[in-house]
Amino acid sequence: MSIFSKFDRHSRFAVALVGIAISLLAVNIGCGGGGGGGSSSGTTSGTTSGTTSGTTSGTTSGTTSGTTSGSLGDGFLAQNKIYFQEGPNDAGNLEVRNIAADSTGEALLGEVDAAQFLAVGYDPSVANRYYYGYAATSGGSVGLYRNSSISTTGAATIVTPRYSSIDAIMVSPDGAYVYYLAAPTSGSPDNLYRVSASGGTPLQIDQADAFALSVDGTKIAYNKVDSSSIRQIYTRAASGSGSATKLTSFLSDADYPQFSKDGTKIVFSYTPDPETDFSYELAWVATTGGTIHRITTVPGESKVGASFNSDASKLSFVVYPITSSNVSGLYTCDIDGSNYTLVKAGNMYPTSYWTSTTGRSVGSVGVPMLNFRKFAPRR
C-alpha cells in the first residue's frame, strides 16, 4: 500500500508553493524548431525565426462558441530552451515561458485561462492547431475540441462532453492521433485514451495518472497503480495493442515519466525511502527496463517534471521545498546529479521540457504539462 494517496502527495507539494492557485491547468507544447510566438520578458530577450508548413485536415463532429482565451504561439519551439509553466499571474492566468539553461533569454510565450481551459495541447505537425479540454459550464461535462487558437469560437468537437475532467493532452508526431488523460466521473482515477484527430470513438489504453509519448510516437510511458496499490512506471505500444511492460517495483509511488530525445531512457520521480523521507528524487531507467539509476540526493525538497536535454547528459526539473532552507523553482543538473543549479526561482507548475539543439527538435511530439488541478474542487 502506498504511504500517500494521489491527493495527499500533491496537496503536500501545493502547500510548499505559497500563492499557487487551487484550480490549475495541464498544457502540452508541441516540439519543433523555429520560433515560439508571444511577447518576451526578463532581463535578456530576443526573437527566433522559422517557417512552418502544412494543411489542416479531418472532419468535424460539431462546433462550440464562446470567448477567446489567447494564444501560446504557433506550436513550434525554440532550440535548446527549457519550457516551464508559472502562475497564476494577476489576471489569474497560467503563463507558459522558456529560458536558457544559463538563466538568460527568458521569454513569455503566452497565457491561458486556467479556469476555462482544462488542458491544452499543440499539434506538432502543423502550426496553429490546438486541442483542448473544455466544459461549457462550471462542473459540467468536459469534451475534447480542436481549433486554430485557444478559443471556443468555431472549434471542432473531437470527443463530445462526457468526462469529469481532462488533465493532459499529447498529439502524435504526424498529427494523426490525440492522447489524453481523463476522469470519467468525479473522484474517479484518470484513464489514458487515444482518439483519431478527426474524431470518433476513443480507445481506452489503460489507467494512468501521467504519461509521455516516445520521440518517434511508437511507445507510451505512464504510471498506474499495481496490485500492491502503488503507482509504478509502465510502457506499452502507443497503438494500445499488446500488454504493458512494468519498469519499476518500488515501495512508494513513481510519477512524471518522460522519454529522452533518443528514446532509450525514461526519467521519473520517486520516493527512495518512504519510511523516513517523503520527498521525491529523480531516477532514470532504460526504456527496455533493467537497473534503476538514481540521479538526485538533495534532502528537504521534491523534484518533479524532469526532462532530458538533447543528448541526455543533463536534465531540467522543478523543485518544491519541504524545508524552509530550500528554494522552489526551475533547476538543472547532470545525469549523475552533479552541477545542481537553480535556473529560476519561483512558483512553477510540476513540469518542464528541454528542447533539442538541432533544427526541429528531435521527437516533435507534445509534452505533457502535469498539474494539481484535478485534485482540487472545480471552480
How far is 42 from 47, CA to CA, in rounded Å? 13
| pLDDT range class, residue 76, cuts 50, 70, 90 | low
Angstrom distances, CA of residue 239 to CA of 19, 192, 218, 222, 235: 40, 12, 7, 14, 12
| Residue found under cell 487551487 | 22
User: b or e along 254-269 (b: 16 or more beta carbons within 10 Å of the residue's beta carbon)?
Assistant: bbbbbbbbbbebbbbb
Name the average pLDDT for the chain: 77
Asked if 350 and 304 touch (Cβ cutoff 8 Å), the reply is yes
pLDDT score for 358: 62
How far is 349 from 318, CA to CA, in rounded Å? 8
pLDDT score for 317: 96
pLDDT score for 339: 98
The two beta strands, 177-183 and 165-171, are antiparallel
Segment 112-157, tens digit of pLDDT = 777 777 788 888 788 788 899 998 887 889 999 999 888 899 999 9
Asked if 201 and 177 touch (Cβ cutoff 8 Å), the reply is no
Question: What residues are paired with 279 via a beta bridge?
Answer: none
Segment 25-57, tens digit of pLDDT = 233 333 333 333 333 333 333 333 333 333 333
pLDDT score for 65: 40
pLDDT score for 18: 23
Segment 289-341, tens digit of pLDDT = 999 999 999 988 999 999 999 999 999 999 999 888 889 999 999 999 999 99
Segment 214-259, tens digit of pLDDT = 888 999 999 999 998 999 999 999 999 999 999 999 988 999 999 9
How far is 269 from 328, CA to CA, in rounded Å? 16
C-alpha cell at 301: 525538497
How far is 230 from 8, CA to CA, in rounded Å? 14
Q: Which of 203, 202, 268, 190 is closest to 235 using CA atoms?
A: 268
- Residue 370 pLDDT exceeds 80: no
| pLDDT range class, residue 75, cuts 50, 70, 90 | low
335 — alpha (psi -120 to 50), left (phi > 0) or beta?
alpha
How far is 349 from 319, CA to CA, in rounded Å? 10
227 — alpha (psi -120 to 50), left (phi > 0) or beta?
alpha
Segment 200-220, tens digit of pLDDT = 999 999 999 999 998 889 999
Instruction: Tell me the domains of the chain and their CATH numbers.
Output: 6-46+61-375 (2.120.10.30)
Classified as helix, coil or strand, 12 is helix
How far is 7 from 376, CA to CA, in rounded Å? 9
For the purposes of burial, counting CB atoms within 10 Å of the CB of 89, is it exposed (0-12), middle (13-18) or buried (19 or more)?
Answer: exposed
Longest Cα–Cα distance of the chain, Å, equals: 54
Question: What residues are paired with 210 via a beta bridge?
Answer: 223
